[in-house]
Structure 1
């Protein structure tokens, strides 16, 4: 078994391990975003989920630049993640230098952020689409078919995790779970800002500290973020 094959297997085991009664949705999606970058040879990944109104919100991003780009995409209601979510199909733009006609606001913003290609994969189970996973590359070009298939498989696993083995008829429970994830994301962003200012580090480094502390203490990312914002955790170090 090659190193890549072994890492793919380990990643799916890692993701499957989160499918328990009280799993950490936010931590789960953070793992997903970073493993996608590692395994698919892309430069960044973002994950957006729909709330109970069907409005997309950002819940995970592998870098701060990606987070800002995703937020811009959602605020402008234009871009690949919205197309993939509403259409329920993968969306690709292999060269964003030719993307201004399709996405007049998103394409220039993506180029300014350092990306020249994007691929969006729907997070879908049967007819239910809960969000989209966005893959960004600094160089133009498409992804190999096997990489796209692996990315979609990871998005499918994430969707199953989010729905948490509930049926389509249990939408009330699903909506509550997604809303909790969106609320947790806001708290994590606050904690990142607190740490970045307190330690004079970048926002990405602040998030790495949060994530590392959550894993080393076997805590939920949301709980660590709350403790940082409340001042209960003050000993994190760069």
Structure 2
């Protein structure tokens, strides 16, 4: 699978169109009820690329607010977190605050897969079920496969025209903006955040070369 980050000749109709399509396919092909895709710069700086519904969005927001949960641990420790019964003892012991909140939201099971390109994770694929049911072995394999594919999709769709413009009405990267974009590229390419900033700045310049200077508009540092 290609991980080319060069600017595209044409842009999709919405930001992260392929990523969202893959996430929706995953819900249809497995027994999960909802999905979210979160991207990180650090444990405390991240945003949602996609949430299938209000529950998926609340699950992500609750973990961000409380600072605990399976999705955060999947990112922190670069490993899947599979919890078929959030009311069980293990989940309550590890994340007591989150568990109490998540059960009230209607999510009885939560699964999380780190997104990465062979280095440190840059995001998490977040899944939930409304009933405490384990994923079938074939479904678990499918989730891992989708996590790999979605990781590539997120990076390939990291177009500055969507991810970095502060005036966008789609709300992409509302919390971290440039920092999150740099975090993704740094983790995926195994480079420093300083080098990631240089590459993003170069991409922005190439994409907008024909429409005038935009460095100040997106808040990137000058050369």
- TM-score band, normalised by the shorter chain? 0.5 to 0.7
Contact 2:7 2:159 in 1 (8 A): no
Q: Distance in 1 between matches of 2:103 and 2:96?
A: 12
Q: Distance in 2 between matches of 1:106 and 1:145?
A: 26
- Tell me what 2:151 maps to: 159
Does residue 123 in structure 1 map to residue 108 in structure 2?
Answer: no
Cα deviation, residue 102, structure 1? 1.0
Question: Structure 1: any 5+ residue segments left out of the alignment?
Answer: 1-18, 166-173, 191-238
Question: Structure 2: any 5+ residue segments left out of the alignment?
Answer: 1-5, 175-223
Counterparts in 2 of 1:79 and 1:100: CA distance versus 1, 3 Å: same
Contact 2:113 2:126 in 1 (8 A): yes
RMSD: 3.5
- Tell me what 1:3 maps to: none
Cα deviation, residue 184, structure 1? 5.6
Counterpart among 140, 148, 165 of residue 140 in structure 2: 148
Does residue 108 in structure 1 map to residue 100 in structure 2?
Answer: yes
Higher helix fraction (1 or 2): 1
Q: Distance in 1 between matches of 2:166 and 2:137?
A: 32
Counterparts in 2 of 1:63 and 1:95: CA distance versus 1, 3 Å: same
Contact 2:56 2:127 in 1 (8 A): no
- The 10-residue stretch of structure 1 (82-91 or 27-36) with the greater mean CA deviation from structure 2: 27-36
Counterpart among 57, 73, 80 of residue 67 in structure 1: 57
Helix, strand or coil: the match of 1:101? helix
Counterparts in 2 of 1:115 and 1:185: CA distance versus 1, 3 Å: farther
Does residue 89 in structure 1 map to residue 79 in structure 2?
Answer: yes
Q: Distance in 2 between matches of 1:30 and 1:96?
A: 26
Contact 1:26 1:181 in 2 (8 A): no
